[in-house]
Every structure is written in structure tokens, then in C-alpha cells.
Amino acid sequence: MPLTSASPRHVAIIMDGNGRWAKKRMLPRVAGHRAGVEAVRKIVRAAGDLGLECLTLYAFSSENWRRPEEEVSDLMGLMRRFIASDLDEFAKAGVRLKVIGDLSRFAPEIRGDIEGAIARTATNSRTTLAVALNYGAQDEIVRAARAAAAEGAITTENIERHLDTADMPPLDLLIRTSGEVRLSNFLLWQAAYAELLFVDTLWPDFTPEHLADALRQFGKRERRFGGL
């Protein structure tokens, strides 16, 4: 689908439903997370073909640390394997990797993997893949407000300059999978005038065709930004 004036530049996805996907199949939760990683691969590949400048994925929230230690460990392992196995492909495909959130809580070896991947893809320009890790929107807004206050006046423009997404296009469309209808502390500032789409599909079953359909739905909406 070619990019048109009605197409979004920046799409974000709350990737929800891995656990329920596994439960429906009587599999352990880690099996759902592994299937979710496969869905990520397909969606990232499709993003450039669909003309997206930026795709932001909610991978690990600041609240996810409360999950069982074994599950958190599994998620960290999956993340490292994903970077190791897919980085070459992303680099060749012109994907720039960016992370939003606070990496300080991750183990040094994980931070090293992530920072190395960011550095390797820094000059790519076809598509930006922003991954939210240890991310919470309320924390992001507090950090941005503090930085703005340190420089002077706290204004909308100054806060926006200090958001984790400051170098990215405005958020156009936010999708949540699995049928849940809430934002879960994700991109609260950026979503102020974004279009929202909640779909019943569990994340591991979300395909490039689902993404293309979401973009078509976006193209049919009339965006007023508070106007008539």
C-alpha cells in the first residue's frame, strides 16, 4: 500500500495478548512471548513496505517488573536473542532502532546489546523502530517537565522537546491488540490527538494484513485536532 496524504507517519502498538494466546493453546506463557516475537518480526518488515516513517512498540513497561521473576528472565532472554538474530536484517533494510524509556534498570550485558544495536543502525533512515523498554508515560512526562523547568519556563513546547519521542514524527495512530480498551500508561502525552484503534486480535496473531487494514481505517477518519 503506497503512502498517501491520508496515511499515518507514526504508528504505535500496545502488543497485548501473548499470555492469553498461550493459555488458549494450553502452553506456558513463554510460548506466547516467543510467538509474539515472531509477530514483531513480520510487522517490522511490513512497516517499511507500508510507508511508515516510525513504528513504536510497547515491549516492556515499568510495571512489568512486577511479573514473576522467571517470566521477566524469559523476556530478557528473548529480547537478547531477537537483537542477535535480527540486527543484520534490520541494518540492511534501513531500519533505525531507537529505545524510549529508562535503560538504567537493565543488566549491563543487556544494555550493551541494546546500545550496540542503536549505534549500528543510527544512520539508517527508511523506518524508525522505537521500542519502549522499562517505559511509563507518566514517568516520561515528569522527566520532561523537570528538564523543561531546569531550562526555564514549563510550556507545552519545552516539555515536548524533552520527551523520549522528541526526534520522532507526531503520533498519528495508536493500536492495541487483544480487545482491551485502555492505554496502560503508554504515550499519554503523544496520544492527545492520535487516532485510537482497539482490535480483538491477540498479538501473536496480528499480521501485516491487520496492520494494513488499520492504516486503511485511519485513512477514512476525519482528524480535526479540536477544530470544527
Alpha-carbon gap, residue 27 to 67, rounded angstroms: 18
Kindly give the pairing relationship between strand 173-176 and strand 95-100: unpaired
Q: Can you count the helices (H) and strands (E) in the chain?
A: 7, 6
Provide the pLDDT for residue 131.
Answer: 96
| Contact criterion met (CB below 8 Å) for 32 and 204 | yes
- Which residues are catalytic, by number? 16, 64
Helix (H) or strand (E) holding 174: strand 173-176
Provide the pLDDT for residue 228.
Answer: 54
Provide the pLDDT for residue 1.
Answer: 44
Residue 143: name the closest of 174, 106, 101, 103 by CA. Answer: 101
Q: Which residues of the chain have pLDDT under 50?
A: 1-5
| Contact criterion met (CB below 8 Å) for 161 and 87 | no
Three-state secondary structure of 193-205: HCEEEECCCCHHH
* Per-residue model confidence as pLDDT tens digits over 21-77: 999 999 999 999 999 999 999 999 999 999 999 999 999 999 999 999 999 999 999
Class of domain 10-218: alpha beta
Domain range annotation of the chain: 10-218
